[in-house]
């Protein structure tokens, strides 16, 4: 694996390069500007780009845009601080083609900061390899990219009166959500509850940016919210989002710091499983792009408990075909759709 590090700080170029050396078989090249990165990409092949968000000449977002124009399949990971401004720009980059992001080292311990950075880079290197493997598999077997419908587990038709839309997504989520949510009608008669694997601060910026481009009301969930029709509540980073029926028989949110599930907090499984205890007439469950299998157990529990219709994103349009693949492999999906068809399908399910 060849990794290109792009950062105008000599210190961070060295830190990122040293951390990237922990990836087995990795060869790392470091440059100090977006212009130099583009020149290297013209003449050399790289598998992963680690791109600083803030650079003085050509900024990270500007460099990303040019990379995506000339190398659309290349995996680009933003390197970001955790401030509100950094988070806002990083979420925008994720919505415009960046595969993922990793935080810059922080804290008082250099050793623990480097360990975290090494782990983050190994994770995104694995994601980049998975993307390459998925692309190669689709080229070898193009029928995998065609929209298909699996045999439903429990239902031949969607439930006539679903009360909730539940969405789980991870790597590639901001781009996927930016595609789906603006298409869904503001007249949606039910709430949407959503888990995006993402740290604190970033989920708030994600909600704010999605709210600007959608007719739906989108915000980060708080403890004790009463989800309303046409509203999207996004689980805050670092907390599980659960729902329950309160004394007034209204659905209400609860945030918890219970242990991670599937190494995730927030977890899709936690949200979906909590919905099974709410005596719902029905639910629509949607599993989008992401690494791992979070959400599969939750969908299975939903289908065993209440009328549930499950839509999974297809392999060809996923950034990483992990979470939807887990759904398909367990035959939990009622429909497998490309990303651009999911928003219109939700409208159709609610006759909008």
Catalytic residue, candidates 7, 8, 52, 294:
294
197 is catalytic: yes
DSSP β-bridge partners for residue 135: none
Catalytic residue, candidates 80, 92, 95, 170:
170
Could you tell me if 101 and 90 are in contact, meaning their C-beta atoms sit under 8 angstroms apart?
Answer: yes
Strands 48-52 and 192-196: unpaired
In degrees and rounded to multiples of 5, residue 65 shows phi and psi of -60, -45
Could you tell me if 43 and 50 are in contact, meaning their C-beta atoms sit under 8 angstroms apart?
Answer: no
Query: Length of the chain in residues, anyone?
Result: 352
Listing DSSP states for 200-223 in one string gives: TTHHHHHHHHHHHH-SSEEEE--T
Instruction: Give the DSSP H/E element, type plus range, for residue 192.
Output: strand 192-196
Residue 261 to residue 103: CA distance in whole angstroms: 22
SS3 label, residue 194: strand
Tokens of 281: 């007439």
Nearest to 294 by CA among 327, 338, 259: 327
Quote the Cα angle for 288-291-297, to 5°.
Answer: 70
Catalytic residue, candidates 197, 205, 240, 297:
197
The alpha carbon dihedral of 288, 325, 69, 33 has a sign of positive
Peptide linkage before 283 cis (omega within 30 of 0): no
In the chain, the N- to C-terminal Cα span, in Å, equals 47
Active-site annotation, residues: 170, 197, 294
């Amino acid at each position: 694996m060849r990794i290109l590090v792009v950062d105008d700080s000599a210190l961070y170029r060295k830190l990122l390069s040293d951390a990237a050396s922990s990836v087995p078989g990795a060869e790392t090249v470091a440059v100090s500007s977006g212009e130099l990165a583009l020149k290297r990409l013209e003449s050399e092949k790289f598998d992963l780009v680690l791109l600083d968000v803030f650079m003085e000449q050509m900024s990270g977002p500007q460099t990303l845009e040019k990379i995506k124009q000339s190398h659309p399949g290349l995996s680009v990971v933003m390197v970001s601080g955790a401030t509100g401004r950094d988070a806002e720009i990083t979420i925008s980059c994720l919505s415009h083609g960046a595969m993922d992001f990793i935080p810059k080292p922080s804290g008082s311990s250099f050793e623990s900061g480097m360990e975290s950075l090494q782990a983050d880079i190994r994770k995104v290197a694995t994601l980049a390899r998975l993307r390459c493997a998925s692309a190669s598999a689709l080229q070898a077997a193009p029928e995998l990219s065609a929209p298909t419908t699996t045999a439903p587990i429990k239902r031949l038709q969607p439930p006539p009166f679903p009360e909730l839309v539940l969405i789980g997504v991870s790597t590639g989520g901001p781009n996927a959500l930016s595609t789906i949510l603006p298409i869904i009608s503001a007249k949606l008669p039910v709430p949407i509850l959503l888990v995006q694997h993402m740290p604190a601060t970033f989920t708030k910026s994600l909600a704010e940016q999605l709210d600007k481009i959608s007719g739906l009301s989108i915000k980060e969930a708080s403890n004790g919210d009463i989800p309303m029709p046409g509203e999207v509540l996004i689980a805050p980073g670092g907390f599980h989002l659960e729902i329950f029926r309160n004394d007034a028989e209204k659905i209400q949110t609860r945030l918890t710091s219970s242990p991670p599930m599937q190494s995730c907090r927030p977890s899709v499984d936690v949200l979906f499983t909590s919905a099974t205890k709410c005596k719902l007439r029905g639910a629509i469950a949607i599993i989008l792009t992401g690494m791992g299998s979070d959400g599969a157990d939750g969908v299975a529990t939903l289908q065993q408990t209440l009328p549930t219709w499950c839509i999974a994103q297809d392999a060809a349009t996923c950034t990483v075909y992990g979470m939807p693949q887990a759904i398909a492999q367990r035959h939990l999906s009622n429909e497998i759709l490309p990303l651009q068809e999911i928003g219109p399908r939700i409208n159709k399910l609610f006759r909008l």
